[in-house]
Amino acid sequence: MKIAVVGTGYVGLVTGTCFAETGNHVTCVDIDEKKVEKLRNKQITIYEPGLEVLFERNIRQGRLDFTTDLAEGIKGAQIIFLALPTPPGEDGSADLKYVLKVADDLGHILEDYAVVVDKSTVPVGTADKVTAAIAKNAKVDFDVVSNPEFLREGVAVEDFMKPDRVVIGAENEKAKKVMEKLYAPFVRQGNPIIFMDVKSAELTKYAANSFLATKITFMNEIANLCELLGADVDMVRKGVGTDSRIGKRFLFAGIGYGGSCFPKDVQALAKSASEVKYDFKILNSVMDVNHKQKEKMIEPLKEYFGGDLSGKTIAIWGLAFKPYTDDIREAPALENITKLLSLGAKVKAYDPEAMENVKGVFGDKIYFANDEYDALEGADALMIMTEWPVFRTPEFDKMEKALANKVIFDGRNLYELENMEELGYTYYSVGRKTVQ
């Protein structure tokens, strides 16, 4: 099939590449000229494990190309995916301006029947708005379906190639058939394509992300309680996670969720609820708790230095919002760095993949280290913000030589308390006793 993917960011590039991998001809469209030029020069624009091999192969074999010209990109396409940003607007609702702009443009340029697919995370009712925006000027027949994306950054290729399920909101047999054919190679192991009405599909994505954000936040509250009651959240996690009704995943306590999805999607769902006069109490609490959780390490850090961080140098390990990505959107590290700078501290930061993106935010306000040990050189304390595996088993003797004080504020619970005790560190983590 000939497919167009409009918006070539984290979702669009993975989607386009993976559809090319199953034999389709895919054209990815983006308005960002620099991005498209890089992609045309076979330079990948995001870090996503496993993507580069597929990206190179499909370009080489002539199934994947890139353009800034929407009309050229959609020419002959049977399916047009919209993988456009839906950032939070001022009131917290999802801003649909990118999606509706492209829908409007499509109305002017569609030449043949096509299925237009909302892949972006969009509130209930968006497919109707997209349909109306295209229909205003369209001279040909078209269908709009909702196909929310559940991939996780860091394992996006695996998630896309072997999804737990594919959700498709479609109310027309012709469009359903097209989507079923497209996704058949991805569900060969028997995972389902779940067809439903469009509104339910739109809501499913928000329900999934909000549930996961709630699960994380619930465990973070248990962790905060553990600290006050003298319990250990890792033990509690194991105790509850083995209950098959609860499950082991998304129970790790830490300094809160970030990323380009959970924060904005929880906010957008709360806003959607309030628009229909429903007070979604849990979501409001989740946002509130997560906001506070992100800066959880600042207070103990300040206390350790007698209430004054001015002139102190803090090493930061991890900048991305989670491991295996270079995405820094809403990353807890950024908020913490901003806070540290406002308190007069100096920051030396290291991340295996996200440094370039963070340079765009802080420029020369912080020091970007060459590796994790360079970040520690002369630092007064270490803060851990992202659980990159490389930080899990560091050379502690090398750390000891570099750090001015043997103190770690670990927002991701990477180390065993006994080990820290043996090594003689002062060690703060989340939901566990402080080692001093």
Which residues are annotated as catalytic?
261
Instruction: Check if the beta carbon of residue 15 is closer than 8 Å to that of residue 24.
Output: no
CA-to-CA separations, 94 to 25, 100, 124, 240, 284, in angstroms, rounded: 31, 12, 11, 34, 16
| Nearest residue to ligand NAD, scored by beta-carbon proximity | 9
Tell me if 4 contacts ligand NAD by CB under 6 A.
no
Binding mask 36-65 for ligand NAD (x = CB under 6 A): ------------------------------
Question: Which one among 3, 84, 127, 213 touches ligand NAD, defined by CB under 6 A?
Answer: 84
Taking CB under 6 A as the criterion, the residue among 3, 20, 21, 30 binding ligand NAD is 30
Fill in the amino acid letter for 50.
Answer: G
Confirm whether residue 150 is marked as ligand binding: yes
Q: Which is nearer to ligand NAD, 45 or 220 (CB)?
A: 45
Q: CA–CA separation, 190 vs 124, rounded Å?
A: 28
- Residue 313 phi, psi (nearest 5): -105, 125
By CB under 6 A, is residue 15 in contact with ligand NAD? no
The minimum distance between CB 237 and ligand NAD, in angstroms, equals 25
Question: What's the token pair of residue 333?
Answer: 């590290």
* Two structure tokens written together for 165: 């399920």
401 a known binding residue? no
* Contact yes or no for 116/130 (Cβ under 8 A): yes
Binding piece for ligand NAD, criterion CB under 6 A, among 10-18, 244-252, 286-294, 330-338: 10-18
Considering only residues 88 through 107, tell me which ones interact with ligand NAD, judged by CB under 6 A.
98, 101-102
Residue 234 engages ligand NAD in binding (rule: CB under 6 A): no
Helix (H, G, I), strand (E, B) or coil at 8: coil
Q: Which stretch binds ligand NAD (CB under 6 A): 8-16, 134-142, 362-370, 409-417?
A: 8-16
How far is residue 320's CA from residue 259's CA, in Å, rounded to a whole number? 8
Residue 250 marked in a binding site: yes
Fill in the per-residue mask, 243 to 282: x = in contact with ligand NAD (CB under 6 A), - = not in contact. Answer: -----------------xx---------------------
Contact track, ligand NAD, 128-167, x by CB under 6 A = ---------------------x-x-x--------------
The response to whether 311 counts as a known ligand-binding position is no
Check binding of 324 to ligand NAD (CB under 6 A): no
How far apart, in whole angstroms, are the C-alpha atoms of residue 206 and residue 267?
A: 10
Residue with tokens 């192991």: 189
The 8 Å CB, 24+ separation contacts for 186-191 are 186/18, 186/22, 186/160, 186/161, 186/162, 187/163, 189/162, 191/162, 191/163, 191/164, 191/165, 191/166
Q: Which is nearer to ligand NAD, 120 or 224 (CB)?
A: 120
Measured at the CA of 426, the angle between CA 317 and CA 340, to 5 degrees, comes to 45
Rounded (5°) CA angle 316-390-395:
85
Q: Which residues contact 6 (CB under 8 A, 6 or more apart)?
A: 12, 29, 30, 70, 73, 74, 80, 81, 82, 83, 84, 102
| Residue 97 annotated in ligand binding | no
Tell the smallest beta-carbon distance from residue 153 to ligand NAD (Å): 4
| CA-derived radius of gyration, the chain | 23
> How far apart are CB 152 and ligand NAD at their closest, in Å?
6
Contact partners, residue 416, CB within 8 Å, separation at least 6: none
Residues in the interface with ligand NAD (CB under 6 A) total: 26
Please indicate if the annotation marks 121 as binding a ligand: yes
Query: Is 54 annotated for ligand binding?
Result: no
Q: Which of 302, 114, 273, 295 is nearest to 203 (CA)?
A: 273
Query: Is 205 marked as a binding-site residue?
Result: yes
Which window, 24-32, 249-257, 353-361, 387-395, contacts ligand NAD (CB under 6 A)? 24-32
Binding site per annotation, positions for NAD(+): 30, 35, 86, 121, 153, 264, 329
Binding site per annotation, positions: 30, 35, 86, 121, 150-153, 205, 250-254, 258, 264, 322, 329
Using CB under 6 A, list all residues that contact ligand NAD: 6-12, 29-32, 35, 83-86, 98, 101-102, 120-121, 149, 151, 153, 260-261
